[in-house]
Amino acid sequence: MARCPELFDVLNVHSYAQLEGWPTWRRSYPEDPKLPHYLQDVTAVCQWRDTHAPDKPVWSRNLVMTAAQNHRSDRDFAKWIGVNDTQQAQWLVRSLLVFSAMPIERAYIFFFNDETNRVSTRARASPGISSRNRPTMRSTTCSAFWGVSFSKHRD
pLDDT, one tens digit per residue, over 31-80 is 999 999 999 999 999 999 999 999 999 998 777 666 555 545 566 667 87
**What pLDDT score was predicted for residue 152?**
53
Q: In the chain, pLDDT over 70 holds for what percent of residues?
A: 60
Looking at the whole model, is its pTM more than 0.95?
no
* Encoded amino acid at 65, one letter: M
Q: Which domain holds residue 133?
A: 7-145
- Tell me whether residue 1 is in a domain: no
Calpha distance 121→116 (Å, rounded): 6
How many domains are contained in the chain?
1
What pLDDT, on the 0 to 100 scale, is given for residue 124? 46
Strand-pairing partners, residue 12, are 59
The CA-based angle 153-45-143, given to 5 degrees, is 60
Q: Is residue 153 part of a domain?
A: no
pLDDT at 14: 87
pLDDT of residue 120: 44
